[in-house]
Amino acid sequence: MSDYKVKKSDAQWKEQLDPMQFQVARQAATEQPFSGKYWDHWDDGKYNCIGCGTPLFTSSTKFDAGCGWPSYSESINSEVIERITDRSHGMTRVEVRCKNCGSHLGHVFPDGPEPTGERFCINSAAIDFAPPK
C-alpha cells in the first residue's frame, strides 16, 4: 500500500462524502454507466479529486468515449495519479487512484485517442468539477 499524504478513517470519509462517493472513492465501486453527472458534461474547467480537492483532469483532454463514464486522454500531470494493477473481476486492468489521498478514480485503458493513446475511464462520483476562476 502506498503512503498517502491524506489519511482518514472510514468514519471520517463517510462524514465527508455522500454514500455513492464513499462507495466509489473509498471502496473502489464503479457507478452505473450513463448515471454519473459528468459523462455528458462539457464545460471548460478542471475536475478535482472528491477526496482531497487535488486537480486531476481538465476539460481540454475530456472526450466522448461513448462508454457512459467521463473519459480523458491524460491527467493534468503524471504526478497526481497512482497506477495499480487490478486483477479483480477476472480481468487485468490498471486502476487509477489519487496519489494524494488514495481515492479510487477508475481505470486507464490503452485504447484512447492520440497523442497519448490512453483512455482514463473515471467515475463521476470520484471527481468534482470546478469552472475557471
Report the residue number, 121 or 126, with the smaller CB distance to Zn ion: 126
Among 73, 100, 123, 124, binds Zn ion (CB under 5 A): 100
The least CB distance from residue 103 to Zn ion, in Å, is: 5
Handedness of CA 91, 66, 108, 115 (dihedral sign): positive
122 near Zn ion (CB under 5 A): no
Among 96, 98, 122, 125, binds Zn ion (CB under 5 A): 98
Instruction: Kindly report the length of the chain.
Output: 133
The least CB distance from residue 117 to Zn ion, in Å, is: 25
Q: Is 121 a catalytic residue?
A: yes
The least CB distance from residue 41 to Zn ion, in Å, is: 20
C-alpha cell at 117: 493513446
Among 52, 76, 105, 108, binds Zn ion (CB under 5 A): 52
C-alpha cell at 45: 474547467
Report the residue number, 5 or 37, with the smaller CB distance to Zn ion: 5
Q: What are the distances in angstroms from CA 20 to CA 25, 80, 110, 117?
A: 8, 23, 27, 30
Question: What DSSP assignment string belongs to 85-131?
Answer: EE-GGG--EEEEEETTT--EEEEEES---TTTT-EEEE-GGGEEEE-
Which residues here bind Zn ion, judged by CB under 5 A? 49, 51-52, 54, 98, 100-101, 103
